[in-house]
Amino acid sequence: MDAVITIDHHGRVLEWNMSAELIFGYGADEVLGRELAELIVPADTRQRHRAGLHRLAGGGMAAMLDRRVEVIAQRADGQTFPVELTITRVVSTAGVMYSGFLRDISDRRQLLADLRSSRRRLLSVSDEARRRVERDLHDGAQQQLVAVAIALGAARSTVESDPAATAQVLDTARDVLNSAISELRELAQGIHSPTLTERGLPAALQELARRSAIPVDVTVDLTDRLPVQAETTVYYFVAEALTNAAKHGATAGRVQVDLNAGTLRCVVSDDGPGGADPSRGSGLRGLGDRMSAVDGRLHVHSPDGEGTTLTATMPLVF
């Protein structure tokens, strides 16, 4: 509920509702008759506030009247915080008064800041993934394809003069080309799993488990295919979680996925050293950002010496 504060043309408080008491930390009996500027306006903007009120009282421009604006206010303990403010002029037989409707928007500002930070991290992760693909292509398949082109050029120059040597060169070129094709397939699978598209999440997670550097037990309790976004989110969440587990010393892992009352839950646990802290590593922040992008949540349980359990939940919309 909004704080409602009414002042006279001198800036003295005439009305101070219960919400104002809760938001600003002053009781009504502490503020009635006192100047509002001394109570809730930060010191660095008080003179501007007083000048604006004086201009209004003198019939000047009313730039802030009947508009919703965001300003910084101050609590009784001196803490400053953002508020949304609307001011209305009230004319009565008692004179001119001004009523302000104020709403604490600290949580909204923090959510927006977290969202911007999350988006920046996602962009950073995306850029890094693109650079990794570029490096893998350059250092792997591209070099092999260049070698094939050179070998074919050599074969062309000897095809008539030395057919046996040409055949040997062509055999080598074929082997290199097959290797390049295998590498491109692995790279494409890292970008998007064909198993996920063709056979769904359970089969794709089993495939992840088989490819994992540590043994992984997978349990999926789903009766139908999920929306594409949900399947993709869970797949990459599990892929990154298992990679992190192996990288940090785990020797075994477990994946559980289920759907209950419209909420999809994915739990990835391992027997590693524990002690994982989302504030210290980009890996867990990236997993959290992935879930936030679909209005999901990530809970991390990682006591020292007891392994790590990551529980991701997200609302499911078909």
pLDDT band at 281 (very low <50, low <70, confident <90, very high): low
| pLDDT surpasses 60 at 139 | no
| pLDDT surpasses 70 at 124 | no
Q: Which residue has tokens 């939940």? A: 313
Cross-strand partners of 100: 5, 87
pLDDT per residue over 209-242, tens digit each?
988 888 999 999 999 999 988 998 898 899 889 8
Cross-strand partners of 65: 87
Kindly give, in sequence order, each residue whose CB lies less than 8 Å from that of residue 283, ignoring residues fewer than 6 positions away: 240, 244
Residue 205 and residue 241: Cα distance in Å, rounded? 12
Q: Judging by beta carbons within 10 Å of its beta carbon (0-12, 13-18, 19+), is residue 87 exposed, middle or buried?
A: buried
pLDDT per residue over 33-58, tens digit each?
999 999 999 999 999 989 888 887 77
pLDDT band at 290 (very low <50, low <70, confident <90, very high): confident
Q: 141 versus 77: which is more confidently predicted? A: 77
SS3 195: helix
| pLDDT surpasses 90 at 150 | no
The pLDDT, as a whole number, for residue 132 is: 66
Q: 115 versus 256: which is more confidently predicted? A: 256
* Residue type, position 250, single letter: A
The pLDDT, as a whole number, for residue 138 is: 65
Residue 283 and residue 278: Cα distance in Å, rounded? 8
pLDDT per residue over 65-93, tens digit each?
888 899 999 999 999 999 999 999 888 87
SS3 225: coil
pLDDT band at 169 (very low <50, low <70, confident <90, very high): confident
Cβ-count burial 141-176 (b if 16+ within 10 Å, e if not): beebbebbeebeebbeeeeeeeeeebeebeeebeeb
> What's the chain's Rg over C-alpha atoms?
32
